[in-house]
Structure 1
């Protein structure tokens, strides 16, 4: 395993085991997935459990691969406990935002660690905004902060247009959770990376304004 953190191994392991159980046990999957009707009937455990289930092996693989690449960066700055706070907090904020946007859609369901992973991505971007990211179909490296802004703007577009079978709101909420929690635990970033912190907040402000105006 080399220098991989035991905390990261455990988080990935829980996701894999929980998801595999869901793949092979339909009743288990149905019991723990995110579902508005069930949550409104008191099954709040789904707000957490759904983030450890995945729709299929591809969904699981890409979420865990992304986590594998970004988590070491965040761990190196925050350590194990604060990393878990960002991961779990982003998970909850992502699902809370999803619940807010779909609270009257009783049949709405979702699964996946994307909200938590989005929080870790945004946390990593706050620490190293100039790191270069290579994206599929784009042959040149992109500065991480530009990717972060574009990612959330695309999530807003996806939420507004209901693009694909993707939980754009959970992705957005998770990123917001990672953004806020990272700044709370590493407030020096407000001084050292003030401009980047401000730029990364632009999509968050846009969503808030659009929600207030009833545009989304």
Structure 2
């Protein structure tokens, strides 16, 4: 019996089940999402992996799973299940670790999605199969190497401009890890496509260094340049945010004491429920 693609299918099903559970249960979603504060301060390291199986909505989930299935079958068939799993989870963890490094001073930063892992799979395919083409919904096909270069530029722009809520840093980190692991697993294929891989990797590493260590050099609406020098480090931010949450909670409890729980507004009830879940 040919089991090629079974691991890809199992991962896809796990993403669907886990994400649907998150859609229906906000407490479940919050418990397993990537959140800097919970990882660095409360040592909830499992979030680095579990966040990769959650998605924001159906559109996010479907797009990611279609992208995964479009590339994973080829990679799993060529390298085998073990190597595929190494690339998938290595890219997932690598992308989230880069995101954790970049956002280490922003305790309330959070994200979800399998995009880092999927980008690792895509870029591993680009490294191993230089002649492949990437098709956009079957309408337009471009060389894999060109897709890699364009995607790298878009991710770098997304990190620096912060024009959307997409975790470009995790995408970029996952892509680099995926390509690096592919090179270790199949070095002969990497050598055959060395020029393209270097063209993608070198600017990524350079901009990652600038973004992390010298963000003021980038004359754009940079997340760190505009905000981080104001809010202080993660411990200061955590203390400040916790004090504000405690004030809100005290006010709600005082209102219950004086007027009863039925006097609470819908927003106050939601806050009280959220606080009680965090305590649990």
In structure 1, the residue matched to 2:94 is 93
Give the aligned CA root-mean-square deviation in angstroms: 1.9
**Corresponding residue number in structure 2 for 1:111:** 112
Normalising by structure 2, report the TM-score. Answer: 0.72
Q: Confirm or deny: 8 A CA contact 2:182 2:190 kept in the other structure.
A: no
Conserved 8 A contact 1:189-1:197: no
- The equivalent of 2:131 in structure 1 is 130
In structure 1, the residue matched to 2:195 is 195
**Count of aligned pairs between the two proteins:** 214
4+ residue runs over 4 A deviation? none
Q: Which residue of 2 aligns with 1:49?
A: 50
Confirm or deny: 8 A CA contact 2:121 2:175 kept in the other structure. yes
Q: In the TM superposition, what are the counterparts of 1:120-199 in structure 2 within 5 Å?
A: 120-135=121-136, 140-199=140-199
Residue 127 of structure 1 deviates from its aligned partner by 1.6
- Quick check: 1:54–1:60 contact (8 Å CA) kept in 2? yes
Within 5 Å, give how 1:7-46 maps onto structure 2. 7-40=7-40, 41-46=42-47
Aligned to 2:66: 65
Cα shift readout 1:155-209 (whole Å, capped 9, x = no counterpart): 0100000121100001001101101111111111243222222223233233244
Give ranges in structure 2 of 5+ residues lacking alignment: 219-280
How much has 1:3 moved relative to structure 2?
7.4
Which structure has more RCO (C-alpha within 8 Å, separation ≥ 6)?
1
Deviates more, 1:190-199 or 1:85-94: 190-199
In 1, are the aligned partners of 2:4 and 2:76 still within 8 Å (CA)? no
User: In the aligned structure 2, how far is the partner of 1:213 from the partner of 1:42?
Assistant: 28
The 1-side partners of 2:50 and 2:134 are apart by 30
Number of the residue aligned with 2:236: none
Q: Following the alignment from structure 1 to structure 2, what is the Cα–Cα distance between the partners of residues 208 and 26? A: 33
2:3 and 2:132 map into 1 onto residues whose CA distance is 21
- Distance, in Å, in 2 between the alignment partners of 1:13 and 1:140 is 28
Check conservation: 1:149, 1:202, Cα contact below 8 A.
Answer: no
Higher deviation after alignment, 160-169 or 122-131: 122-131
Unaligned runs of 5+ in 1: none
